Chain A
Amino acid sequence: MTGTTAYKNNKNAGSRAIRVVVWTAGMTVGLLFLLITGYILIKGIPEIKASLFERHYNSENVSMLPAILNTLEISLLTLGIAVPVGVAAAVYLCEYAKRGSRLVKLIRVTVETLQGIPSIVYGLFGYLLFVISLGWGYSMIAGVLTLVIMVLPVIIRTAEEALLAVPDSYREGSFGLGAGKVRTVFRIILPSAVPGILAGVILAVGRIAGETAALIFTAGTAGNFTGNLADSARTLSVHMYCLWNEGLYTSEAYATSVILLVMVVGMNAISNFIAKRLVNKNGK
């Protein structure tokens, strides 16, 4: 649609008004993106200073380096559990399950439900199960397990799409050469689905790094990095919440929001890029 034909640039007042309205809507959304990211970057970048990256956090340097390390550790552990489980679930749904069976329907409904649950409810659940019932207290592992459930639907959905994009001829070729189902899955299907799965993984990292409400009452808010799973640890997002809550550290909060924004938006951009490359490659 090139927009040069007569029916498109209609001169009547109604059409013109509608064009103005939709252009305004589109431009407003674009400007909003520029406003939010621009504001955070312009106000935040000058506030970044070396003391914010000291190894140990205290109320004087308000260092965010421990929070960044915690974010990395929590992300890696969460993915370490969620990716195998999520990909295996997707393999079951795509390669093994009978289409439209009761179990598959139930799995789909629960995945959709998990996707819609607000993070604060995950936080409450993690608090009740891991922190209280299992008696682990505020700890990294409680936060990790809560996040695993939270990102599972993201992984399952993207892995499923990636598996569906693998052409059937690959499967038939592998079976034709005498390979069993398991061998076909691990040697043929999964390797060709890796880019799609990777896009989902990166999307999940963005989720984890941006998450706050599910972590405050599970991993807690301790400001230092110990690396120990039983210790409370705050991620970068939770760090920012704490800065706001204490109400004293506006300039540090600006600096933290820049790092957080760059981290999370960067992750999403990479994920989108990979996903798009994949779609182009498959010629859809």
Chain B
Amino acid sequence: MKIKIRETGMRFVFLFSACVSIIAVAFIIAFLLYNGIPAMSEIGFFKFLFGMTWKPSAGLYGIFPMIVGSICVTAGAIVFGVPLGLGCAAFLAFFCPAKLHRVLKPAVELLAGIPSIVYGFFGLMVIVPVMQTFFGGSGKGILTSSLLLGFMILPTVINVTESSLRAVPNHYYEGSLALGATHERSVFRVIFPAAKSGVFAGIILGIGRAVGETMAVVMVAGNQAIMPESVTSGIRTLTTNIILEMGYAAELHREALIATGVVLFVFILIINLSFSALKRKEERS
């Protein structure tokens, strides 16, 4: 009898622990919506999302420049990070001598562990001065943030891509060789297409990182809440808008910042869902 109580009791403890993540997600969604939606409707949904001016002192809450900002730096991060990441993943999986692999792979894993505030500091101290010399101005802006974010998403892109490249059955590669293709042609024409959904999953995960990154971007983006004119102009993203003003905001201003968080959250949910869909597709094939 005592054993039976213990068995069912512990079963419930385990079950409850497993449900904590469900409760957490429900709470996060509820709290963000509850605090963010009223502000959206007060400002006007359309005016909030597509308003061109963010000027809390004048009661203007348009986050379109920030949406554009987030899209710009993310696109930039893809331009810098994805080709380099895919190249490095192909290198690690098919070209790298075993001895070098033992050094390079841990280096990639440790890149993932560097805190974003340290990346930001590095960007501020190294990339910003370089940009100043080449392009003039403050050196902070889209280009600098894109470059830094491109570095930051590298480990994600590389790790996911490498493991999906390695998961392609060996006979694909052998078959390609038997047909007379070179090693290089086999890797890029046979293995990459076969690992397509895994590769895209890696890229999407990287995009999620770039969209959500805050601390590194705030240090190198310039943070002007205006529409960018060129790749060197300063910019503010959805994430940095929150961190910059949350400390002193009150009332509608504060709620507008939470609503910014809601918009960010929706972006991330869309990215996550496409990641899960791709991963499931990969597992099936």
Contacts and interface: CB of A to CB of B under 8 A. Distances in A.
Interface of A: 1, 3, 7-8, 10, 12, 14-15, 18-19, 21-26, 28-30, 32-37, 39-40, 43, 84-86, 88-89, 91-93, 95-97, 103, 106-107, 109-114, 116-125, 127-129, 133, 149, 152-153, 156, 180-182, 185, 206, 209-213, 216-217, 237, 240-241, 244, 253, 257, 260-261, 264-265, 267-269, 272
B19 interface: yes
A30 B104 contact: yes
B31 A125 contact: yes
Contacts of A152: 20-21, 24
Given A88-B13, A109-B276, A212-B116, A121 B28 contact: yes
Interface string B90-128: 111011110010011011111111111111111011100
Contacts of B71: none
B258 A124 contact: yes
Given A36-B119, A149-B28, 5 more contacts: A18-B188, A36-B114, A120-B264, A152-B20, A212-B117
A15 B151 contact: no
Contacts of A22: 87-88, 90-91, 94-95
Contacts, number: 263
A282 B15 CA distance: 28
Contact of A120 (B108, B205, B261): B261
B37 to A, nearest CB: 13
Contact of A118 (B124, B182, B214): B214
Interface of B: 3, 6-7, 10-11, 13-15, 17-22, 24-25, 27-28, 31-32, 35, 83-88, 90-92, 94-97, 100, 103-104, 106-122, 124-126, 151, 154, 158, 177, 182-185, 188, 205, 208, 211-215, 219, 239, 242-243, 246-247, 258, 261, 264-265, 268-269, 271-272, 275-276
A182 B10 contact: yes
Contacts of B32: 121, 124-125, 128
B113 A210 contact: yes
B115 A121 contact: no
A23 B95 CA distance: 8
Contacts of A261: 114-115, 118
Name B's interface SS.
helix
A246 to B, nearest CB: 13
A32 B87 CA distance: 14
28 contacts: A7-B177, A15-B185, A21-B87, A22-B90, A24-B87, A25-B91, A26-B100, A26-B104, A28-B84, A29-B108, A33-B107, A84-B17, A88-B14, A89-B18, A91-B14, A92-B18, A93-B18, A120-B264, A123-B243, A128-B32, A128-B258, A149-B28, A212-B117, A212-B214, A213-B215, A244-B117, A260-B118, A264-B114
Contact of B24 (A97, A114, A128, A244): A114
Given A116-B272, A120-B214, A15 B91 contact: no
A85 B212 CA distance: 26
B88 A268 contact: no
A48 to B, nearest CB: 15
A200 B37 CA distance: 37
A26 B264 contact: no
A86 B113 CA distance: 21
A146 B90 CA distance: 38
Contacts of A18: 184, 188
Contacts of B183: 7-8, 10, 15
A207 to B, nearest CB: 9
B121 A257 contact: yes
A40 B106 CA distance: 19
A111 B115 contact: no
A32 B124 CA distance: 16
B104 A107 contact: no
A237 to B, nearest CB: 5
Contacts of B271: 116
